[in-house]
Structure 1
Amino acid sequence: MAIDLFAGVPVTDYGAAAAWYEQLLGAPPAFLPNDTEAVWELAEHRYVFIEVRPEHAGHAMHTVFVDDFDARLAQIAGRGLEPAERETYDNGVRKATFRDPDGNEIGFGGAPV
């Protein structure tokens, strides 16, 4: 069974949010469906998108697990962003949480070292 995933993030300011997500994800949007949305492809058929929806902004919570956790965080730091929080769970899984200008949480998780 094929699965496509679109994870939405409501934002108040399209320009500020688009610039921040481009900085976080290291690439411009994969496509722009209209003038209030931008979509990034994280992996084949797996997307995160921003949409101007001020009444809902600041409430998204998404975590993306990656194989290259340390390298990913280093790349993001190289683009000028640092996580708001870092956690290591009892089972050794690590998580770094970033917050966009509206306070939406985008986390990256990685397997134990």
Structure 2
Amino acid sequence: MNFRNALAGVAVSDIAASIEWYEALIGRPPDIRPLPHVAGWQFPGGGWVEIFVEPERAGKSTVIFAVLNTEKQLEELAARNIPIIYETPSEEIGEVAMIQDPDGNRIVFAGPLTGVMDD
């Protein structure tokens, strides 16, 4: 198999509240709304994050965002009043930080990721 990209799916309980939260996090409205209970954001370097209503699984998802500058990302999160629940440097992948969406899904920021973000 030769995979070229991936889509991260995040189960949420309330699509309207979650769209508002992810818009604040990502900084823009969703790129697609293929169904009333689904919204998705595409990223320039590839990949998607899609949120969808599935209350029984809400809060059990994890998404890892590869970022170029974790320190800058943490500053932006602080400016948006999004609390960081975990932060640590990692020799293998650089700085790692974690936040949670309103349902408790884990959103991890890691970077820079060698081999993932190289030009």
User: After TM superposition, is the score higher than 0.5?
Assistant: yes
1:39-68, Cα deviation, whole Å (9 max, x unpaired): 011234410010000111111112122112
1:84-103, Cα deviation, whole Å (9 max, x unpaired): 11122354721110101111
Tell me, which stretches of 5 or more residues in structure 1 are unaligned?
A: none
CA contact (8 A) 2:69 2:112 kept: no
Which of the pair is proportionally richer in strand?
A: 1
Runs (4+) of structure 1 exceeding 3 A deviation are none
**What residue is the counterpart of 1:11 in the other structure?**
12
Which stretch has the larger CA shift, 42-51 or 89-98?
89-98
**What residue is the counterpart of 2:117 in the other structure?**
none
- Return the offset for 1:12: 0.5
**What residue is the counterpart of 1:79 in the other structure?**
80
Q: Percent identity?
A: 32
Which stretch has the larger CA shift, 59-68 or 85-94?
85-94
CA contact (8 A) 1:11 1:52 kept: yes
1:56-95 to structure 2, matched below 5 A, reads 56-91=57-92, 93-95=94-96
- Return the offset for 1:77: 2.3
1:34-53 to structure 2, matched below 5 A, reads 34-53=35-54
Alpha-carbon RMSD across the aligned residues, in angstroms, is: 2.0
Paired residues, number:
112
With the length of structure 1 as denominator, give the TM-score of the two structures: 0.86
